[in-house]
Structure 1
Amino acid sequence: MAELKDLFEPLGFTVVSALELNLAEPEETESTFAGNALLKARAAMLATGSPALSDDSGLAVTALGGAPGIYSARWAGEPRDFYRAMEKVEEELKEIGATDRSAKFVCALGLVWPDGHEEVFEGEVHGQLVWPPRGERGFGYDPVFIADGETLTFGEMDPARKHYMSHRAVAVAKLKAALL
């Protein structure tokens, strides 16, 4: 939510989370980021009667066949422990003897209007995984991900720099180009 607020509020939008509205979180049953983003946006739109935007995003590791992918948050367990999730990625890479450390962050933004119109805007940022984690900024898998062309992990990077280039920023730019 913090990243979405940083990206949308300068445009004059007020961003309110489903949590702030006490909306139930639907079970993510789709097989793609786009499918899960639309599922969550539909649920929010039906509950509020207002247009709803939802994000589904995660880390896709090439050597792991795209895992953790749509299960990125679930790899962190409950309560969410992303350090453990990062360890799990590293353990699985070591277990298969992977030398390919390429990965990408993927974001799908699902936008649903009360009239039933739906759109999806997707963004990716490609990079490499490092171990051990570096940096205290960001969230999720940020401390192990270095975007192509960069030297700092997203966990080390100034938030403004990350917001400029992240998978979410790419998806938001596509949304803005289509709608604003």
Structure 2
Amino acid sequence: MKVLLATRNAGKLAELRRMLADGPVEVVGLADVPEFPEAPETGATFAENALAKARDAAAATGLPSVADDSGLAVDALNGMPGVLSARWCGRHGDDLANLELLLGQLGDVPDERRGAAFICAAALVVPGGPETVVHGEWSGRIVRAPRGTNGFGYDPIFVPDGEERTSAELGPEEKDAASHRGRAMRALLPHLHALT
């Protein structure tokens, strides 16, 4: 059975494909289906954005559709960049500029006050059927300089609780097992398996 992951992000697609590799669900991405208009992310919460993306995808393709919205919530910035994480610098998807802006904003913040969490909401919308939203959170802290090449976004400056390595220094399996997206997608797995 095909499930559409409503993303063009190759990293997210690879993660979900790894998690579902042993089952009857075939994960396809937006590049695998005819193009359709995608509404901008205007929700005030991760859940609102994820649901909107999944609803658009399911309506346009007729496939059960999964979408997520995730971002980084930094304690010293009152939970920001939050839903604005991908466009924190003012341009969508400029990972390096977003990361550098965040590090600049935290420049004077002492190490003990650099707590943060990655947060993910994942939505599954079945055409004519149920809608499900689940959440995952990954707590840690922000380091002062990027380290590692495995990952994207803020991964090179985020050290998960109990770790000395950044998220970008973890291997794919380690990251899948612990990350906010991994936790949310695992919470969604029983709902995906129920479709088959």
More deviation in 157-166 or 79-88?
Answer: 79-88
Matched, 1:55 2:68: yes
- Tell me how far 1:24 sits from its aligned partner: 2.9
Q: Distance in 2 between matches of 1:84 and 1:138?
A: 16
Q: Distance in 1 between matches of 2:41 and 2:153?
A: 18
Matched, 1:64 2:62: no
**What is the match of residue 93 of structure 2?**
80
- Tell me how far 1:176 sits from its aligned partner: 2.3
- What is the DSSP-based 3-state SS (H/G/I as helix, E as strand, rest coil) of the residue aligned with 1:23? coil
The 5 A counterparts of 1:86-101 are 86-94=99-107, 97-99=108-110, 100-101=113-114
Structure 1: which amino acid aligns with 2:109? A
Identity %: 45
Structure 1 unmatched ranges of 5 or more: none
Structure 2: which amino acid aligns with 1:2? A
**What is the match of residue 59 of structure 2?**
46
Q: CA RMSD in A?
A: 1.7
1:70-91 CA deviation, whole Å, 9 max, x = no partner? 1111125547321211111111
Matched, 1:130 2:163: no
Matched, 1:111 2:119: no
Structure 2 unmatched ranges of 5 or more: 1-12
CA contact (8 A) 1:9 1:15 kept: no
- What is the DSSP-based 3-state SS (H/G/I as helix, E as strand, rest coil) of the residue aligned with 1:88? helix
- Tell me how far 1:51 sits from its aligned partner: 1.3
* Equivalent of 1:153 in 166, 170, 177: 166
Matched, 1:18 2:15: no
Q: Distance in 2 between matches of 1:176 and 1:87?
A: 35
Structure 2: which amino acid aligns with 1:19? A
Q: Distance in 1 between matches of 2:143 and 2:122?
A: 27
The 5 A counterparts of 1:20-39 are 20-21=32-33, 22-39=35-52
Give the TM-score normalised by the residue count of structure 2: 0.84
Matched, 1:4 2:16: yes
- What is the DSSP-based 3-state SS (H/G/I as helix, E as strand, rest coil) of the residue aligned with 1:146? strand
Give the TM-score normalised by the residue count of structure 1: 0.91
- What is the DSSP-based 3-state SS (H/G/I as helix, E as strand, rest coil) of the residue aligned with 1:103? strand
